[in-house]
Amino acid sequence: EPDNDCDACKEVSAGRCIDLIEMDAASHTGVDNVREAIVEHVRFLPARWKRKIYVIDECHMLSASAWNALLKTLEEPPEYAVFILATTELHKVPATIVSRCQRFEFKRIQPDAMAGRLRHLAEDEGLRVADDVIAAIVSSADGYVRDAESLLDQIASLGEKKITRE
């Protein structure tokens, strides 16, 4: 868990961590994008921290040639490099890549945990949200934190401090 207090956490939260490289593969699908963002730069040591983290979001969108360009780097990464390949469609990631990765499958958040998170967020924003409203948000979000937080944010944007079903 991040402590949100150390320099590394503060840099990541502020978007200033140069040792954290994020690539949206849905927008950058080609081999040139992978070479430019990762393959050519992975040989450089981390600038500030012990590790250099590469996050490739929506990695299933990469082209076959992009995967081929990345394969050698994934097979023999420098000891300081960590790659995080995020996808909602694992079946579209080549088997040669999947076989070289540790796999962590994230599941939907349980309703009680989601409700607790929403109550915490509401409290931080100075909102008093009725339990039935929290339950409705949890039900509508169907286990997806981003959806639940977005719904709470929409309700908060109405400007009311006490939120009831009415």
What pLDDT, in 10s, does the model give residues 107-154? 889 999 999 999 999 999 999 999 999 999 999 999 999 899 999 999
Instruction: Collect the ranges in the chain with pLDDT lower than 50.
Output: none
Q: Which residues lie below 8 Å from residue 69, measured CB to CB, with a gap of 6+?
A: 31, 34, 35, 39
**pLDDT, mean over the chain:** 90
pTM score, two decimals? 0.71
Can you give the pLDDT at residue 30? Answer: 82
Pairing of strands 52-57, 128-129: unpaired
Can you give the pLDDT at residue 31? Answer: 86
SS (H, E, C) 93-152: CCHHHHCCCCCCCCCCCCHHHHHHHHHHHHHHCCCEECHHHHHHHHHHHCCCHHHHHHHH
